[in-house]
Structure 1
Amino acid sequence: MNIALVTGASSGFGQAICCKLIADGYKVIGVARRTDKLQKISDELGSNFLPLSLDVTKKDAVESILLQLPKEFQPIDILINNAGLALGLEPAYQADYNDWETMIETNIIGLVHLTHQILPGMVERNFGYIINLGSVAGSYAYKGGNVYGASKAFVKQFSANLRTDLLGKKIRVTNIEPGLCGGTEFSNVRFHGNNEQAAEVYKGVDYITPEDIANTVSWLVNTPTHFNVNSIEIMPVAQASAGLSVCKDLQ
């Protein structure tokens, strides 16, 4: 039975991925900061789910807790770096620097902490799969995307470079790049708890759901081991890249 570790497991994509992988017969370590939500998920999913309360931005804590994993949840074959967030939608010259720093710590530093800890074991066993949750924001700029988009561009390029470093090893790497996805706390967090503003983002749109992403992960991990999807970009039919803008009569 393969063992997967999923970050950001307490809601949204992470929770849906955990549920789907458990249903597929995997053992799953669910990592998040919110212990109460993790415990509720654990109560629902049973003994094949291990809740792990952890802030992935804390390097020492990551190293320590991975060394203490129960034997039945070792070794980790699949790492799903899902934890991430966007904060604010202001233009760069009006953005809160603390929001920028939080996005960098979570979307980049947390991701590389776990990857750096788990990857050597995969290399030693010559087997594994790393799935990173990027975003279409890593490829397409939009107003207010600034540091969030830049952080997801890092994830995209980091994933591509992992593939290069791992050439010759039986370790797969995929960057999933979702577009507009509802049914999560993403916009509620981005707008600092303004639920009405968050709801407007999805109003009248048949958006991608967490279950769509979970089903994509399930498909990826169950493909033949000689088969690697370098990246997969997923948008709802209602969304497309907007093309280049031109500002006329520039003042």
Structure 2
Amino acid sequence: MTWAWDVGPARVLCHDDVMTSRPLAVVTGASSGIGAATARSLAAAGHEVVCVARRTDRIESLAREIDGRAVTCDLTDADAVARMAGAVGDRLDLLVNNAGGAIGLEPVEHGDPDDWRRMFEVNVVATLQTTRALLPALEADGGGTVVNVGSIAGRLAYEGGGGYTAAKHALAVMTETLRLELNGRPVRVCEVAPGMVRTEEFSLTRFRGDAERAEAVYEGVTPLTAEDVADVICWTATRPPHVNVDLVVVKPLDQAAPHKVARRSV
């Protein structure tokens, strides 16, 4: 049985056996796509999962499905993140920083600064705030893991991707820096960087709701699925405690690079 309560303006859904010996994981951006798939994968692997996102109805439904918890939170709001950390509690085994996204495909010379700011907020600043808030809980039991969901856009540039590639490059460097700074402390820091993944919302958001343009991204290609990436995240997070998987780059066979994709005739 699941139930809900309020923590300030944050709504939290939890199940009856809150005190549990299952490893505890937080997955951000859990309302759809890779985040939702990761929450399901981790739950199947034995984790209790705290599903974090802005859309209450979706994460509460997911929490009921996987016997987890749901915390509604805008991760770009520092006060909301602090309340979320309070709802998680004083112990945590795994943090999956998955929340992010791309907006637009304009060249740099026509880039909208507001779009760029938003991409930095959701991909970089939200990850920073979430990690800072939950790091004490990750260290509390003597060892935790941070998995940041990056992108091949954080390794290679492509035309039209300036704002998104800049944000994902920033996330990649932040991940590397955090690993250096936490060396000697019991927290592993990992990055999973997917290539083309077909989810219900990523391209639709990038093209501002233009379903035809979003669909064209995947024409003639067999892209990764959210479940493919979730499987890699789960594998990365469940290695033996002395093993740190610094970086996993995972792409569909049809994609050699962001700008080089083999497309079959359709």
Q: Choose which of 146, 152, 155 in structure 2 pairs with 1:136.
A: 152
Contact 2:102–2:205 (Cα < 8 Å) also in 1: yes
TM-score with structure 2 setting the length? 0.86
TM-score with structure 1 setting the length? 0.91
Q: Which residue of 1 aligns with 2:8?
A: none
Q: Which residue of 2 aligns with 1:12?
A: 33
Structure 1 residue 97: Cα displacement: 2.0
Report the aligned-residue RMSD: 1.6
| Deviating 4+ runs (over 2 angstroms) | 120-126, 241-244
Contact 1:155–1:175 (Cα < 8 Å) also in 2: no
Structure 1 residue 242: Cα displacement: 6.8
Instruction: Select the structure that is richer in helix.
Output: 1
Instruction: Select the structure that is richer in strand.
Output: 2
Residue 195 in 1 paired to residue 211 in 2?
yes
Pairs within 5 Å for 1:171-182: 171-182=187-198
Q: Which consecutive unaligned segments of at least 5 residues does structure 1 have?
A: 245-251
Q: How far, CA to CA, are the matches of 1:56 and 1:219 in structure 2?
A: 25
Q: How far, CA to CA, are the matches of 1:213 and 1:159 in structure 2?
A: 18
Structure 2 counterpart of 1:194, which letter? D
> What CA deviation, in whole Å up to 9, does each residue of 1:216-237 have, x standing for no partner?
1111122111111101111111
Q: Choose which of 170, 177, 180 in structure 2 pairs with 1:164.
A: 180
Q: Which residue of 2 aligns with 1:22?
A: 43
Q: How far, CA to CA, are the matches of 1:9 and 1:64 in structure 2?
A: 17
Structure 1 residue 98: Cα displacement: 1.6
Which deviates more from structure 2 when the two are superposed, residues 109-118 or residues 233-242? 233-242
Structure 2 counterpart of 1:221, which letter? A
Q: Which residue of 2 aligns with 1:212?
A: 228
> What CA deviation, in whole Å up to 9, does each residue of 1:41-80 have, x standing for no partner?
123223xx111110000001111232234x6xx5111010
Q: Which residue of 2 aligns with 1:66?
A: 85
Q: How far, CA to CA, are the matches of 1:86 and 1:207 in structure 2?
A: 17
Q: Which consecutive unaligned segments of at least 5 residues does structure 2 have?
A: 1-21, 261-266
Q: Which residue of 2 aligns with 1:55?
A: 74
DSSP 3-state at the match of 2:249: strand
> What CA deviation, in whole Å up to 9, does each residue of 1:179-220 have, x standing for no partner?
011133110000011111100001111111110111111111
DSSP 3-state at the match of 2:123: helix
Q: Tell me the matched-pair count.
A: 239
Structure 1 residue 91: Cα displacement: 0.5
